[in-house]
Amino acid sequence: MGTTVLEGWAALLFLVRRPADRLSLRLIAWVAAPIGSFAMLFARPAEGGLAALPCELLQLLGVLIAFVSLATLGRSFGLVAANRGVKIHGPYRLVRHPAYAGYLVAYLGYVLENPALANIALLCLGTAFQLLRIREEEQILAADSAYERYRTAVRYRLVPRLF
């Protein structure tokens, strides 16, 4: 339910996004965006996972992180790597890609509760393509001096003190 609301929020932001100052034309950016964004939508319920409550709380935490991050992005949200302005407030003070971090936390909670091999493979696939998205976004944003200052101030991409 939470991810459905989150995806609806993302779709709304996508519809009202502001034009990009710079948009990636690289094929990998255009491939990574939909796979990284939507791979886990193919995950299915499975038996044998961890207790439901802790996993669902982890999913809720991830959805909340992603929702607040997307709300902070506002009209700067997009799917393909682009520069629609640099955000430095809210969760963006802690890591450079908190929305992706939130999605990964939510998806990890889902896979821990539903540990089918296909779900694990989808999590790995989606994560790999999210990491490619991060690389592509940072490459586009590197041309912006505001982003360079931000990158110096906020060292970590997804997990404080780790990555």
Domain boundaries in the chain? 2-153
* Segments in the chain below pLDDT 70: 1-6, 9, 12-16
CB atoms within 10 A of CB 154: 17
Tokens for 143? 């041309």
CA nearest neighbour of 82 among 43, 12, 136, 42: 136
Q: What angle do CA 87, 128, 46 make, to 5 degrees?
A: 110
DSSP-derived secondary structure for 115-137:
--HHHHHHHHHHHHHHHHHHHHH
For residues 139 and 48, give the distance between their C-alpha atoms in angstroms, rounded to a whole number.
Answer: 41
DSSP-derived secondary structure for 18-71:
PPPSEE---HHHHHHHHHHHHGGGG----SS-S-HHHHHHHHHHHHHHHHHHHH
Tokens for 1? 């339910």
- State residue 1's pLDDT score: 57
Q: What percent of the chain stands above pLDDT 70?
A: 92
Which pTM does this prediction carry?
Answer: 0.89
Element (H, E) at 83: strand 82-83
Tell me what the pLDDT averaged over the chain comes to: 91
- Is 2-153 in CATH node 3.40.50.1820? no
Beta bridge partners of 22: 83
- State residue 3's pLDDT score: 63
pLDDT tens digits for range 133-148: 999 999 999 999 999 9
pLDDT tens digits for range 56-73: 999 999 999 999 999 999
